[in-house]
Amino acid sequence: MKIDIITVVPDLLSGPFSHSIMKRAQDKGLLEVNIINLREYTTYARAQVDDYPFGGGAGMVMMIEPLVNAVELLKNKCDYDEVIFLTPDGETFNQKIANSLSLKNNLLLICGHYKGVDQRFRDHFITKEISIGDYVLSGGELAAAVLTDSIGRLIPGVLNDESSALSDSFQDNLLAPPVFTRPEIFRGWKVPDVLMSGNHKLIENWRYEQSVQRTEERRPDLLD
């Protein structure tokens, strides 16, 4: 899978993909992440990519021309399955969307900044708009990192044990059950006996029951 990310602040994305699972995915050749500096695609002086909004008001707006220049040049080299704009008013990101996007080959992510982007760019070039939650960040870079990590770990071969992703929270509209590891007893707190039984069927049933119980208590909306 290839994920290209257009940003005004590329340095914000220098860390998330250089460590841990995302780094291993790239080292294995399963994931390619390219950070693209929008300022390299502007024709304005001092690498300007934003301007005051028509009609007045606070804040600055990302200009349409640099964005279009970047997207059109990139699309000449790659056939993107989705061009995604990270924005607070987009569709709320969830595991179902992550699963769907992980099946794509090429994604282009656009990081919003300032007060937003010229609406004409959204109308004519964006195929999907995504929000990672009901709050506002300084830019879309952190959201792009969240999407890339969430999608990338689902690519076959990225995780050492692919079944691990299938048991994550939200995969089946349930939260994950509690987990335990050594030592078996710590300060008198004991691991549930069923997990030490060696009976895989009983363990599977216990984990399912715990998932349902935890979901009912913490996220009953997932069961509706």
In angstroms, rounded to a whole number, what is the distance separating the alpha carbons of residues 3 and 32?
Answer: 6
The CATH number of 2-152, from 3.30.300.130, 1.10.150.20, 3.30.750.24, 3.40.1280.10, is 3.40.1280.10
Tell me the pLDDT tens digit for each residue of 38-57. 999 999 999 999 999 999 99
pTM: 0.89
CATH number for the domain formed by residue range(s) 167-223:
1.10.1270.20
In angstroms, rounded to a whole number, what is the distance separating the alpha carbons of residues 142 and 13?
Answer: 8
Whether the predicted pLDDT of 9 surpasses 80: yes
Please give the single-letter amino acid code of residue 11: D
In angstroms, rounded to a whole number, what is the distance separating the alpha carbons of residues 148 and 31?
Answer: 10
Supply the mean pLDDT for the chain: 94
CB atoms closer than 10 angstroms to residue 4 = 21
Q: Which helix (H) or strand (E) holds 185?
A: strand 185-186
Tell me the pLDDT tens digit for each residue of 60-119. 999 999 999 999 999 999 999 999 999 999 999 999 999 999 999 999 999 999 999 999
Domain map (residue ranges) of the chain: 2-152, 167-223
Backbone angles phi, psi at 207, to 5 degrees: -65, -40
Amino acid 155: pLDDT: 94
In angstroms, rounded to a whole number, what is the distance separating the alpha carbons of residues 174 and 52?
Answer: 46
Tell me the pLDDT tens digit for each residue of 103-119. 999 999 999 999 999 99
Tell me the pLDDT tens digit for each residue of 157-199. 999 776 566 666 677 889 999 999 999 999 999 999 999 999 9
